[in-house]
């Protein structure tokens, strides 16, 4: 039998027999690892331990201690839900049931469920866990698989489309239940320590509004009841921090029916925060040598056809006819920036050329996928594009990464880094993609940055390095990105004159420090629980006169702080009510002024952590406030860290 070579996580290589499985690789590494193997990651894809590996594959063994194990366990929990559902509702039609970052869901048809039904289904799931049913993989011919689902159009479509060309196909069996699935799964239902069902929503088959509406049931699963309880506590905290709830309470934004779905309105408080975010990004851009540009919202589709967006993105674009010509609202800013670059003749001495724009873009997401500010139709990207010589790539990507680190430090956020490679729908040849992916990988490894591989998650025009923010509750959100693009310069025939007086193609680098303002704003609302740092807070100081007799003095204090966002509480409320209102609205500082303060020309300072100090000189407070804002400190610290 011939042999193949696979790569292991430590960079070493292992020779195994051709046809060897993930489990075989694990046994070659060590018998103990072989016994503990649950699944594998092959070239970045999570697979069953019985799946074969190919020559040159990168193989990671998944055990119960691996980060991927929870995903495997939750996939199995989705099958347990489906089994419990069909035990109680034999007529239910199963569609898909994947794991998610927080648990799992299963889309179903043929049964009318509401939230009151979940407890009984969950009880049946508990019984299935107690039965400790082995979860076994079987392979069947495509013909036999079709016969298994004579009246389930969803499974038949999966066989016809997603599984097209596969023969045999895999089915997972547990007791009286089986499901068409690629896996992987845990060994038995008893390996799932704790499950719960969370809620019900609706979804369209394949996410298409023109398709059948399905019922989607969400749940989650963990290795232990303690882990589940901890998760549910975090979930309750997340409800309290929900940006849609806080957005209304703090008067930040709204998405009323009259605007249409996914089209937020920013109220004065929200716009003040966005202005501060924009100002900060602008300072980083100018410091890094970027120049501001602006592009229109609407372009002739000729531009999008030239860039490749029309072929690869047209389903997500808003198109309209104007005087018998087709135009499209821009889904991205990059073609406009490439066009600006193309208007000038450049020498190699001029490069890199760097542009930035807070560019509004439009993407036609499915209505069922829209959610607050996290997914909208209209959003703004703090977009930057730079054009450089090939030998400048590493320097420029490192500069972008440094700026992203500044952003992370400023907001006290941790990030997870991933290299996203060529997607199925893409433009450009293999050689260009291999070169681009290799250079980004080299930058990450030279900088000593730990990263995950996300196969197929790159942009259609090039690979990218993604930074996912981790918020105060440990949740991850898409954030900054840096993308390497050899394709768009080719499509737009961009050139610069080299030292040899010949034309050369520049490399285009796409980058965003926040990702989008909308999603980043959402992350900040929930991360800070609405308690924004003083420099970012829509209202930085509220002056609370003890009685109407001090209103005049309160306004004089306000005038001395006119460089900041300051208000005077002039309603005839008790002082306790004024303090309570300011606390609920998360104002960083409250200045209490009564007769004694007015007479002495001082203030009493209270912060939202309920710390207080009297007899404070106004100038002393103003100087501290200025330094706190200038330094972009995370917490109000006049009264201590």
- The span from the CA of 190 to the CA of 227, in Å, is 16
* Contact of 542 with 491, CB cutoff 8 Å: no
Pick from 344, 345, 342, 311: nearest CA to 328: 311
Question: % helix / strand / coil in the chain, to the nearest 5?
Answer: 40, 30, 35
Pick from 81, 86, 79: nearest CA to 123: 81
Assigned token pair, 296: 């229109």
- The span from the CA of 624 to the CA of 630, in Å, is 10
Q: Which residues are annotated as a binding site?
A: 334, 385, 510
* Contact of 470 with 416, CB cutoff 8 Å: yes
Pick from 222, 206, 226, 223: nearest CA to 214: 206
Sign of CA dihedral 518, 520, 524, 526: positive
Q: Which residues are annotated as a binding site for Zn(2+)?
A: 334, 385, 510
DSSP-based three-state secondary structure for 22: helix
- What H or E segment, with its residue span, contains residue 250? none
> In this structure, how many other beta carbons lie within 10 angstroms of the beta carbon of residue 450?
8
* Contact of 454 with 418, CB cutoff 8 Å: yes
Phi, psi for residue 583 in degrees, rounded to 5 = -65, -45
- The span from the CA of 425 to the CA of 456, in Å, is 9
> Which residue intervals of 250-308 are DSSP H helices?
268-287, 301-307
DSSP 463: -
* Contact of 105 with 218, CB cutoff 8 Å: yes
Assigned token pair, 337: 């920036």
> In this structure, how many other beta carbons lie within 10 angstroms of the beta carbon of residue 388?
19
* Contact of 622 with 606, CB cutoff 8 Å: no
**Sheet strand arrangement including 612-617:** 566-568, 541-545, 589-593, 602-607, 612-617
């Amino acid at each position: 039998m011939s042999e193949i070579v696979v790569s292991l996580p430590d960079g070493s290589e292992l020779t195994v027999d051709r046809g060897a499985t993930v489990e075989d690789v694990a046994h070659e590494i060590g018998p103990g690892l072989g016994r503990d193997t649950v699944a594998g990651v092959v070239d970045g894809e999570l697979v069953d331990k019985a799946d074969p590996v190919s020559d040159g594959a990168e193989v990671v063994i998944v055990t119960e201690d691996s980060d991927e194990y929870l995903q495997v366990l939750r996939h199995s929990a989705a099958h347990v839900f489906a089994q419990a559902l069909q035990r109680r509702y034999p007529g239910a039609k199963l569609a898909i049931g994947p794991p998610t970052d927080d648990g799992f869901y299963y889309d179903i048809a043929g049964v009318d469920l509401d939230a009151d039904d979940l407890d009984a289904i969950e009880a049946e799931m508990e019984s299935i866990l107690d039965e400790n049913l082995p979860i076994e993989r079987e392979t069947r011919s495509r013909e036999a698989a079709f016969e298994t689902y004579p009246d389930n159009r969803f499974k038949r479509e999966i066989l016809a489309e997603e599984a097209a060309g596969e023969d045999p196909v895999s089915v997972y069996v547990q007791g009286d239940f089986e499901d068409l699935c690629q896996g992987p799964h845990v060994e038995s239902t008893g390996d799932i320590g704790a499950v719960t069902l969370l809620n019900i929503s609706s979804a369209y088959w394949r996410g298409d509004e023109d398709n059948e509406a399905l019922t989607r049931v969400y749940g989650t699963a963990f290795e232990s009841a303690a882990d589940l309880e901890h998760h549910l506590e975090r979930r309750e905290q997340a409800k309290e921090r929900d940006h849609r709830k806080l957005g209304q309470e703090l008067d930040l934004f709204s998405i009323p029916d009259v605007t249409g779905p996914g089209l937020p309105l920013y109220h004065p408080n929200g716009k003040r925060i966005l202005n501060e975010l924009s100002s900060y990004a602008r300072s980083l851009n100018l410091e890094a040598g970027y120049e501001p540009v602006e592009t229109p919202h609407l372009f002739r589709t000729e531009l999008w056809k030239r860039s490749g967006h029309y072929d690869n993105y047209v389903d997500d674009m808003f198109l309209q006819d104007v005087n018998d010509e087709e135009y499209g609202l821009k889904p991205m800013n990059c073609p406009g920036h490439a066009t600006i670059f193309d208007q000038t003749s450049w020498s190699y001495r001029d490069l890199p050329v760097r542009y930035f724009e807070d560019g509004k873009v439009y993407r036609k997401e499915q209505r069922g996928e829209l959610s607050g500010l996290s997914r909208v139709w209209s959003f703004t990207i703090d977009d930057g594009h730079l054009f450089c010589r090939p030998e400048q790539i590493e320097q420029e990507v490192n500069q972008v990464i440094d700026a992203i680190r500044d952003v992370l430090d400023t907001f006290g956020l941790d990030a997870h880094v991933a290299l996203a490679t060529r997607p199925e729908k893409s433009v450009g040849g293999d050689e260009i993609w291999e070169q681009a992916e290799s250079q980004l990988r080299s930058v990450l490894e030279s900088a000593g940055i730990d990263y995950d591989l996300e196969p197929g998650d790159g942009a259609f025009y090039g690979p990218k390095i993604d930074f996912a923010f981790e918020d105060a509750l440990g949740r991850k959100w898409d954030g900054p990105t840096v993308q390497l693009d050899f394709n768009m310069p080719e499509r737009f025939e961009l050139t610069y004159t080299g030292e040899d007086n010949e034309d050369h193609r520049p490399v285009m680098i796409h980058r965003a420090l926040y990702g989008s303002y909308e999603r980043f704003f959402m992350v900040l609302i929930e991360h800070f629980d609405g308690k924004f740092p003083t420099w970012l807070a829509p209202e930085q100081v509220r002056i609370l006169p003890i009685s109407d007799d001090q209103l005049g003095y309160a306004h004089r204090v306000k005038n001395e702080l006119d460089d900041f966002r300051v208000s005077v509480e002039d309603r005839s409320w008790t002082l306790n009510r004024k303090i309570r209102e300011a606390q609920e609205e998360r104002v960083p500082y409250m200045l209490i002024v009564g007769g004694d303060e007015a007479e002495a020309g001082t203030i009493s300072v209270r912060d939202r952590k309920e710390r207080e100090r009297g007899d404070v000189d106004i100038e002393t407070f103003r100087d501290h406030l200025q330094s706190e804002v200038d330094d972009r400190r995370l917490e109000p610290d006049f009264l201590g860290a």
